[in-house]
Amino acid sequence: MLDDPERLRKGDPQGMAGTLSSLPEQLEEGLERAADRVPDPPRGRLAVAGMGGSAIVGDLAAAATGHYGGPDVLVSREPGLPRGLGRDDLLVAVSYSGNTWETLAAYREALRRDLPCCSVGSGGQLAEIAAARGHPHVAVPRGLPPRGALGYLLAPLLALLAPAAPGLEADLPRAVEGLSGVRARWLPAVPTGRNPAKRLAGVLQGCTPVVYAPAPLAGVARRWQTQFNENAKVLAFHGVLTEAAHNEVVGWLGGQGVGCFAPVLLEAPAEPPWTPFLEALTELLQGQARLTNVRPSLDRFLPGLLELVLLGDLVSVYLALLREVDPWPVPPIDRLKEKLAARGLGGGSAEGEI
Ligand code: F6R
């Protein structure tokens, strides 16, 4: 199935595999779009308000400053602001559609409190409010599913943070170059025998994936989970290490129903303290469950982090194809948004008044 070009084309008619593989090009274009449009890094914290495929870029930005330094990044997934946000902080509202209720509510709350803000999106009310208020706004290309625009949405955050984190600034072009190289092994044209992304999808087929990562990569584990949910249309979960080794590990070794789940252990790029820990955990889990270890090949933090993101994205598309579901549409999310809009929340509602 995964090696038949005709079936691949029919199974993924809108081209999710190609869209997600364009991550390095999206990052490059996103950095160009962000140039001169993003404000300076805040003296205080950077709060990212968003949901789903838009919010995840906040987690990845938080991982980056956790490693390279720069302002603390808080991610807020609710219709309000994190407690204690003040004038030294900066709110970035990220919504691909520009019409997500929770994100607009957080943004409006920041406007009411006259806090510094900027936004990233492809249009909608977010762009309208930004224009009306004269706030910085980075416009990204339209016509994609939000989770297929990760590079466009992430680049403005990294561009904003880079002046406060010289190591991050230096690793950005390395990430773009590294990703263009590593993706060649995972593309649809590469047969399963030589394609680790297709092989991993085969391992996960019929199971519920549970993706673990060390704390600095928590956002990557969440991205894997949500891409399995939205592209492959399966339940999936994620957990963060080392915490999960102090509780969930007992469930894995307890026997009940373990065969229905497939643990995937993401390893951190070039983070020495994690290696012995992950080795010990692997020894414990091996033989108890269908464990897969995934280690990035790019050795610097941001390139390795994004390599893992891109790999998980493609695995989720191959899993969709194996399950014979179209990876692109997400009717349940659309239906929920329609119901919310009918109740006056989010896009097209009276809330849209600036
Ligand atoms: C759809 C997707 C969703 C959306 C979420 C928020 O591809 O990934 O998780 O990202 O519903 O919508 P936006 O991103 O438009 O604010």
Q: Tens of pLDDT along 131-154?
A: 999 999 999 999 999 999 999 999
**So what's the pLDDT on residue 287?**
82
Across the range 41-67, mean pLDDT stands at: 98
Amino acid (1-letter code) at residue 182 = V
Of residues 289 and 60, which shows the higher confidence score?
A: 60
Rg (CA), the chain: 20
Dihedral (C-alpha) 156, 160, 162, 163: value to the nearest 10 degrees? 150
Per-residue pLDDT tens for 187-214? 999 999 999 999 999 999 999 999 999 9
Res. 182: pLDDT tops 50? yes
Q: Is the pLDDT of residue 349 over 50?
A: no
The residue whose C-alpha atom lies closest to atom 9 belonging to ligand 1 is: 52
Q: pLDDT at residue 346 above 60?
A: yes
Q: Is the pLDDT of residue 350 over 90?
A: no
In the structure, what pLDDT confidence band is assigned to residue 276 with cuts at 50, 70 and 90?
confident
- The Å distance, Cα 278 to ligand 1 centre, comes to 32
Q: For residue 146, give the ligand 1 atom closest to its CA.
A: 7
Residue type present at position 325: V
Mean pLDDT of the chain: 94
Distance of CA 25 to the CA centre of its chain: 16
Which of 333, 334, 339 is the best mutation target for the ligand 1 pocket, counting ligand atoms within 8 Å of the beta carbon and taking the most? 333
d(CA 289, CA 2): 25
Q: Which two tokens stand for residue 182?
A: 């590593």
174: number of Cβ within 10 Å: 14
Residue 184 scores a pLDDT above 90 = yes
DSSP 354: -
Q: How far is CA 72 from the centre of its chain?
A: 18
pLDDT at 270: 67
The answer to whether the beta carbons of residues 87 and 42 sit under 8 Å apart is: no
Quick: pLDDT tens for 221-253. Answer: 999 999 999 999 999 999 999 999 999 999 999
Q: Which residue has the tokens 């900066």?
A: 90
Torsion region of 84: left, alpha or beta (phi above 0 gives left; psi -120 to 50 gives alpha)? left
Q: What average pLDDT does this structure show over 278-298?
A: 91
pLDDT at 271: 64
pLDDT at 334: 93
- Residues of the chain with pLDDT > 90: what percent? 90
Digit-coded pLDDT (tens) for 56-113? 999 999 999 999 999 999 999 999 999 999 999 999 999 999 999 999 999 999 999 9
Does residue 347 carry a pLDDT above 80? no
- According to the model, what pLDDT value does residue 290 have? 85
Q: How far apart are CA 250 and CA 209, in angstroms?
A: 17
Give the closest residue (by CA) to ligand 1 atom 10: 53
Spell out where 105-191 has E strands.
Answer: 117-121, 137-139
pLDDT score of 6:
95
Query: In this model, does residue 348 exceed pLDDT 50?
Result: no
> Is residue 155's pLDDT more than 90?
yes
| Rounded distance from Cα 196 to ligand 1 centre (Å) | 28
pLDDT bin (cut points 50, 70, 90) of residue 272 is: low
Is 93 within 8 Å of 49 (Cβ atoms)?
yes
- Spell out which residues line ligand 1, taking CB within 6 angstroms: 51-54, 95-97, 100, 103, 145-147, 230, 330, 333
Q: Which residues pair with 266 in a beta bridge?
A: 294
pLDDT band at 268 (very low <50, low <70, confident <90, very high): confident
Contact 192, 179 (CB under 8 A): no
Residue 103 CA: which ligand 1 atom is closest? Answer: 16
Find the helix or strand (DSSP H, E) in which 307 lies.
Answer: helix 301-322
Cα–Cα separations (whole angstroms), residue 104 to 146, 148, 149, 281: 16, 21, 19, 42
Q: Which helix (H) or strand (E) holds 98?
A: none
Give the whole-number percent of the chain exceeding pLDDT 70.
97
Q: Residue 273's pLDDT is what?
A: 77
Question: How much is the pLDDT for 289?
Answer: 82
What distance in Å separates the CA atoms of residue 116 and residue 85, rounded to the nearest whole number?
A: 10
pLDDT of residue 259: 86
Which residues touch 87 (CB under 8 Å, ≥6 apart)?
A: 115, 116
